[in-house]
Structure 1
């Protein structure tokens, strides 16, 4: 889930096996297809799944990336134990200093991580360091301005994905506390990634597995307009 060891009780929170470390398959598949289209199949390339959690996202991507080497990276020992059941390579690392050489990676998967970070600026700096020039960043994160969050805010309800406590849900729908510290709109995410030294290539939307079943068709329709989608999928290249 996250690869920068947080301070104090945050560290204990993320090491708790009850804390979710994977997102829904639809998001993972959409992101994997974007990555496969970017990499192609000409030569074997190295893909780092930074914040790999239990390895689900990388394992979902693997069949679409034949011949490429996927390495899972996380700081959580519990997450890595689970990831190693799904991935041939999974190593411990933190975003304060990843255990990879400068320019050694062709692509980075950064799935549902940035919203958990205290210092996302330093994280993108380190990702940029390990990526080769022209290397690909595939980032996904919840959308603060998702279609239902706009409705919830209008009636004074805390938006989905936002959290005010690590102990319980207060003021918003949902049951799981997942430790989100940062939330982005489509516009904010584009500007933030560009300012970190990347060229934004594409921004897509993906559905959220936690949307109530009767509303899922509407959630899938919202994907056609990323600023309204539940999940933001961004493809950028290192400049």
Structure 2
């Protein structure tokens, strides 16, 4: 779950401090990263097919896990990590060759308009105060027809539906940055927004993108006895733990 700066004004000092803490989890598991990387590889095609190398931005790269996972699936393409956190960038540079500082504000990404072929946006949108401004900035740097690969936890995951019926706070949702209250789990990860599949697709569509495909991915935090069921739920993305969305800039 890779946070990045969300708004035109800096977030509160306490929130920045929270995201600068290396102990805060920044990914939802290897399976999600691999599935997302395969989606991107299918979309871009090989660099040897006559189209040449493409530029892929991993925006909100955190420690570089998503970009490092994607790189073997994208031979010949250039993957660049982007984050506002200098600590995150130091860690990312141990995994990927390119990592630069940038913010998801108007013009805050250090790239020219229509200069990127694809954007990885892995586990970031749920941390943002202003996701509208973030997608505006992503749309600015993507060329027309460029690919957006977005992943985020699913508010309507199969187990969250059962938890809500029982009056329990859904997994992934948080009411405090200091502790867990009313839901399973032990880790505070700073989620500010959560999406269902329908809400995510509608939001991306009105932000200037055409939704191409929706897939599901499992979540590594599901208890071991339930992991097979969690993988099976991916057949129905609307029930999956993690939503993987492929969209193209219109």
TM-score of the superposition, structure 1-length normalised? 0.99
2:60 counterpart of 1:59: no
Q: Deviations over 1:85-141 (max 9, x none)?
A: 000000011001111000000000000000000000000000000000000000000
Distance 2:22 2:65 in 1: 15
Spell out the pairing of 1:72-151 with structure 2 (5 A cutoff): 72-96=81-105, 97-151=108-162
CA contact (8 A) 1:22 1:54 kept: no
**1:14 match:** 19
Distance 2:149 2:28 in 1: 15
Structure 1 alignment gaps of length 5 or more: none
Q: Deviations over 1:158-198 (max 9, x none)?
A: 00000000000000000000000000000000000000000
2:77 to 62, 65, 68: 68
State the 1:145 CA deviation: 0.2
**2:205 match:** 194
State the 1:23 CA deviation: 2.6
**2:29 match:** 24
Distance 1:90 1:39 in 2: 21
CA contact (8 A) 1:46 1:105 kept: yes
Distance 2:103 2:26 in 1: 16
User: Alignment RMSD, CA only?
Assistant: 0.7
Distance 1:211 1:24 in 2: 11
**1:225 match:** 236
CA contact (8 A) 1:108 1:137 kept: yes
State the 1:20 CA deviation: 1.3
Mean Cα deviation higher: 100-109 or 6-15:
6-15
1:162 to 142, 152, 173: 173
Distance 2:42 2:226 in 1: 30
CA contact (8 A) 1:147 1:230 kept: yes
State the 1:64 CA deviation: 0.5
State the 1:16 CA deviation: 1.1
**1:48 match:** 57
